[in-house]
Chain A
Amino acid sequence: MSTVTWVVLAIDAAMLTVAAVLSVLRVARGPRALDRIVASDVLVAVVIASAGLAMVATGSGLLLPVILGMSLLAFTSAVAVGRLIRTKRDIK
């Protein structure tokens, strides 16, 4: 692949890194459980995007089952937390 391709891929990887760090910060700080679960959904989306980035960089489709599994199961955490939390007092 050409140099331009690698530069674009590196910029994409940098954007995904910043996005992942920002979501992890929100997971760590987020005042309530729901803030954390939304941020962890963003983190899952970042992981899926980086799997796509890795597939384009390596030119192989080996990571597609990973994307498939994550897109199937990513919503379960949100459902579990959304249904399990009780009151504002309990999750503070």
Chain B
Amino acid sequence: MSAFLDGLGLVLLSIGCFLALSAGIAQHRFPDVAARAHAAAKPQVLGLILVLCGVAVTLRQPEVTTMAIVAVVLQLATSPVGSHIVARSSYRYGHLDLDALEVDQIKRDLDSGDLTYPVSQEDSSR
């Protein structure tokens, strides 16, 4: 049983590390900020969950498992905040290729007048 749990922990850890590797590769393969942030979110959330599951399964101590759960909850609460700000800034400062977007909800909100553009037309056309 203990050997099985150790093996399971190693598998979970390896998948988490592979997600980090895939995000690193995506930083060079993907064209713009939105695509890279999409790839960067995988090791931040799923990768962290897998790595900490691997740690908890390998160490098998109650206090380690508790702190791992707290870390996952904190990451789930904080990581979307940063990704959201980055994606929104990249849209509003004109860094995205808008033709590549399938759904553009922020444009709908901007057109409805609830939000305002932060840059002048002279800046956004640059």
Chain A interface (Cβ < 8 Å from any Cβ of B):
1, 5, 8-9, 11-13, 15-16, 18-23, 25-26, 32, 34-35, 37-39, 41-42, 44-46, 48-49, 52-53, 55-56, 59-61, 64-65, 67-68, 71-72, 74-79, 81-83, 85, 87-89
Complex: A25 Cα to B26 Cα, angstroms:
12
Are A39 and B79 also in contact (CB < 8 A) when A16-B21, A26-B28, A49-B51 are? no
CB atoms of A22 and B67 under 8 A apart: no
B20 and A25 contact, CB distance less than 8 A:
no
Q: How far is the CB of A55 from chain B (nearest CB, A)?
A: 5
Once bound together, how far apart are the Cα atoms of A30 and B48, in whole Å?
25
The answer to whether B123 and A79 touch across the interface, beta carbons within 8 angstroms, is no
Question: Considering only CB atoms, which chain A residue lies closest to B36 in the complex?
Answer: A38
Taking a contact as CB atoms under 8 Å apart, the answer to whether A35 and B33 are in contact is yes
Residues from chain B with a CB closer than 8 A to the CB of A49 are 16-17, 20, 43, 47-48, 51
Q: Given that A12-B17, A45-B44 are contacting pairs, would A52 and B51 also be in contact in the complex, using a CB cutoff of 8 Å? A: yes
**Chain B neighbourhood of A55, CB < 8 A:** 55, 58-59
Chain B residues packing against A (C-beta within 8 Å)? 6, 9-10, 13-14, 16-18, 20-21, 23-25, 27-28, 33, 36-37, 40, 43-44, 47-48, 51-52, 54-55, 58-59, 61, 63-64, 67-68, 70-72, 74-75, 78-79, 81-83, 85-86, 88-90, 93-95, 119, 123, 126
Contacts of A15 in B (CB 8 A): 17-18, 20-21
Q: In the bound complex, how far is the Cα of B16 from the Cα of A85, in angstroms? A: 32
Task: Report the bound CA distance from A82 to B91 in whole Å.
Answer: 11
From B9, B55, B71, B95, A34 is in contact (CB under 8 Å) with: B95
